[in-house]
Amino acid sequence: MTVFFITPFGSNPRTYWFIHLANSYRANAVMKEIHWKYGNHFSHSMTPALFVGYDTKRDIQVTDQRNLGFGEEHFFDGVTGKRIETELSELLPRKIYDRPTQSFRMMMRGMANGTMANESIVREALHLPILCKDIEVFDKDRRTKRRKGSSIKSTDILMPASQRTMFFTPSVSVPRKAQSDADD
């Protein structure tokens, strides 16, 4: 099931929930491809990269709020696609570290209902983590290592990098008072 909160453009300004019911991940993927190809006449008001769904505390019938207040609108366009790619570049390595050695297909199935991203956006989002050696991607036999996100196949295995990056913070020096200041 994929859920979008949609605001159409034009003479019908009413917002609605678009709920796509399917038992197949492929149906979800095809639906997203159609949104990205033709979806320039409506917007989505939840977080575009990864979102958790409907929050009942924001429901007008429960809280008496004038609007749902999800925040800014996100369109199925190049600007939103780039934003999703950037956000997922930071979020996906953490998901891969939390669940190592999963296939690209399994990762997509796990997040399919929680993102506007289609497979090509997710592949592009994984390009930087691959380049920075935060993650490694191998073919299903683990013989071929992928060098770019766009070359990832659905059966490829996503793994944390074998040599993990260490982050160091610069030392902070605290200025000492001069002796003459201390005497005053």
Whether residue 45 has pLDDT greater than 80 = no
- Burial group, residue 66, by CB count within 10 angstroms (0-12, 13-18, 19+): exposed
| Residue 52 banded pLDDT, cuts 50, 70, 90 | very low
Nearest residue to 160 (alpha-carbon basis) of 118, 122, 141, 132: 132
pTM of the model: 0.65
How is the chain split into domains, by residue range?
A: 2-160
- Which tokens belong to 158? 């996503």
Q: Which residue has the higher pLDDT, 149 or 70?
A: 149
H helices present in 64-178, as ranges: 78-98, 104-111, 119-131
Q: Which residue has the higher pLDDT, 23 or 52?
A: 23
Percent of the chain with pLDDT strictly greater than 90: 36
Nearest residue to 22 (alpha-carbon basis) of 40, 34, 7, 39: 34
Over the Cα atoms of the chain, what is R_g? 22
User: What's the chain's average pLDDT?
Assistant: 77
User: How many CB atoms are located within 10 Å of the residue 52 CB?
Assistant: 9
Q: What is the pLDDT of residues 159-174, one digit of tens each?
A: 999 877 655 444 445 5
User: How many CB atoms are located within 10 Å of the residue 34 CB?
Assistant: 12
Half-sphere exposure of 34 (CA within 13 A, CB side): 7
- Which tokens belong to 3? 């859920």
Amino acid at the residue 108: M
Whether residue 60 has pLDDT greater than 70 = no
Nearest residue to 75 (alpha-carbon basis) of 108, 112, 35: 35
